[in-house]
Structure 1
Amino acid sequence: MPLVRITLSSDRPAEQRPQIAAGVHRALVDAVGIPEKDRFQIVQALPAEQMFFDHEYLGVDRRDVVCVEITLRRGRPEETKRALYRRIAEEAGKVGVRSEDVLVVLTENGSADWSAGRGEAQLLDLEQQMS
């Protein structure tokens, strides 16, 4: 059950925002194997003057960053994460976002750290049922 927050410049066309979000979801389905209906995303457009990203850090020519923050349960191998980064950049490219402008950050946690509603710990309950 990943939670995705996409922050981008309000200068980006409004119609591009849901396309970027859909591409990130496709990448998660394809690279990580999450279920198709496991989609929880927040897209936030900020004025460009409120976004501060170094334009050359680690030799990447950034111009108009799309920041993708994904919180998900821990346990994926590094190669899966690398595949996810590539897929997100590919999907973003399909809607006109340069791969250099795609910044992805993963934050991992455990099943006990999620409630999908009703004040319950559904992922923890599922995990306990399976063991």
Structure 2
Amino acid sequence: MPLIQVDLKRSVFKDKGKEISSAIHNSLVAGLGMDTTDLFQVFRPHDEGEIIFSPTYGNRDRHDLIIIRITMVNMFSLEQKKKTYKELTKRLVDIGIRRDDILVCVVENSTENWSLGEREV
């Protein structure tokens, strides 16, 4: 049950929020083999100047950085993660997001750190 948090410019969210959501979700389904009903996303649109980043770090040309944080249980292989990153980048580029504007961060923990109400995941 990955929890997705997306920080992006408000204008990008207004223009492409639903498409970004779908691209992320479908990438997790394809890359991690996640159940299609496993959908937990939080979008945090920001005004100009609220996302601060280096436009050139790593020899990139960033304009409208989209930060995608995926918090998930440590149970997926490196190959599954790499497939997910590749799927995610392709799907975002296909909807008009620039490759250099994509930043993904995976945070992993154990099942004991998750609860759905009183039930463990």
Normalized against structure 2, the TM-score is what? 0.94
Determine if contact 2:72/2:109 at 8 Å carries over to the other structure.
Answer: yes
- Structure 1 residues 44-64: Cα deviation after superposition (integer angstroms, max 9, x where no partner): 110121011111111222111
Moved over 2 A (4+): none
Normalized against structure 1, the TM-score is what? 0.87
- Counterpart of 1:59 in structure 2 is 59
Secondary structure of 2:103's partner?
strand
- Counterpart of 2:68 in structure 1 is 68
- Counterpart of 1:120 in structure 2 is 119
**Which residues in structure 2 correspond to 1:12-51 (within 5 Å)?**
12=12, 14-51=14-51
Determine if contact 2:13/2:45 at 8 Å carries over to the other structure.
Answer: no
- Counterpart of 1:103 in structure 2 is 103
Identical aligned residues as a percent: 26
Amino acid at match of 1:78: L
Give the C-alpha shift of residue 13 in structure 1: 5.3
Number of residue pairs matched?
Answer: 121
In structure 1, C-alpha distance between the alignment counterparts of 2:90 and 2:111, rounded to whole Å: 29
Larger radius of gyration: 1
Gaps of 5+ in 1: 124-131
Query: Which one is further off, 79-88 or 37-46?
Result: 79-88
**Which residues in structure 2 correspond to 1:87-98 (within 5 Å)?**
87-98=87-98
Give the C-alpha shift of residue 26 in structure 1: 0.3
Determine if contact 1:6/1:21 at 8 Å carries over to the other structure.
Answer: no
- Counterpart of 2:77 in structure 1 is 77
Amino acid at match of 2:20: I
Query: Which one is further off, 49-58 or 78-87?
Result: 78-87
